[in-house]
Amino acid sequence: MGEQLIPQLTADGTYTFFSQEFGESYHSHFGARQESFQKFVLPTQLEERAIKPNIRILDICYGLGYNSAAALQTIWNINPNCYVELIALEFNPNVPRAALSYNLYNKWGFASDCVDILAILTALADNFNVQNDNLKASLLIGDARTTIQQVLELGFQADAIFLDPFSPPQCPQLWTIEFLALISRCLHSEGLLATYSCAAAVRTSLLTSGLIIASTPPVGRKTPGTVATHLASERLLKQHNRMSIPELEHLNTRAAIPYRDPLLNDQPQIILKRRQLEQLSSTLEPTSRWRKRWLSN
């Protein structure tokens, strides 16, 4: 909570923070703003959806608020009358506040004729709720494993879910089969979930939750992201890349063994250890063999 947040420049000219606690940046160094649009807003097809009268968004790991900002900007540029319901989950309320107090959005480029998104982000960081003619937004502060229960109780069915925790080895508690099962229950039957991760354990857990998945194009780094939807909405994945043979085979290796957190309250080390033990006793192909087969040249 008391972590010092120091802005770091990324390659597209926008800033992110580095987390000492998690040993990771909040965004890819290839470009923080670029990541929000290309890894989250584009794959969830918000441009196409913006013609609808209302859109519901669930932003898991709100952080600096970039993914929500990119979504609001995209939707209202196309349809200023679209009514957006946004629920964002975040553990540390100092992160969105620090982003605003360092003026990190100065590098963002909000259109001057657009709704004042900066004012919305500020109100959300200060009061955790914003309501006006075109928006109802709540920032739920706490462990997302707990706050997701509120989302479920509300019966919130998201058109778009952004899943953006730190990486699975650093923050396994937000990538477990149990947590992802709860998230999939918050996804509308015609909704899309997007994440930057292509980890086999994450993909398997999404599949086990009853979703189907596709790859999103790599942005900056070599690896793709993942987009998921319910089986009945398979057509929504048509414009995404089908998974390649290596990606499909990756799901049959030990890397695909999910992170597990049966009561949704274990410490990260326990979750990591549990998976490591399951991998050791697994009969699945060792991931090193798969890697040698596909990635050695």
Ligand X SMILES: C[S@@+](CC[C@H](N)C(=O)[O-])C[C@H]1O[C@@H](n2cnc3c(N)ncnc32)[C@H](O)[C@@H]1O
Residues that bind ligand X (CB under 6 A): 26, 36, 61-67, 89-92, 95, 143-144, 164-166, 171, 173-174
Q: Which is nearer to ligand X, 32 or 243 (CB)?
A: 32
First to last CA, the chain: 43
Inter-CA distances, 267 with 144, 262, 273, Å: 14, 12, 10
Token pair, residue 237, equals 């994945």
Q: What share of the chain is helix, strand, coil (3-state, %, to 5)?
A: 40, 20, 40
Q: In the bound complex, what is the minimum distance in angstroms from residue 254's beta carbon to ligand X?
A: 26
In the complex, minimum distance from the CB of residue 63 to ligand X, in angstroms, rounded to a whole number: 3
In the bound state with ligand X, the residue whose beta carbon lies nearer, of 62 and 156, is 62
Smallest distance from the beta carbon of 173 to ligand X, in angstroms? 6
92 vs 209, which CB is nearer to ligand X? Answer: 92
The residue number with the shortest CB distance to ligand X is 63
- The number of C-alpha atoms within 13 Å of 128 and in the hemisphere containing its C-beta is 10
With vertex at residue 202, the alpha carbon angle to CA 200 and CA 208, rounded to the nearest 5 degrees, is 100
Considering the complex, state which of residue 167 and residue 233 has its C-beta at the smaller distance from ligand X.
167
Residue 68 or 229: the one with the smaller Cβ distance to ligand X is 68
202/206 Cα distance (integer angstroms): 6
CA 272 – CA 21 distance, rounded (Å): 17
Token pair belonging to 234 = 């398979």
Shortest distance (Å) from residue 10 CB to ligand X: 11
Smallest distance from the beta carbon of 8 to ligand X, in angstroms? Answer: 12
- Minimum CB separation of residue 67 from ligand X in Å reads 4
The residue (of 228 and 243) whose beta carbon lies closer to ligand X is 228
Select from 108, 33, 46 the least CA-distant residue to 72: 46
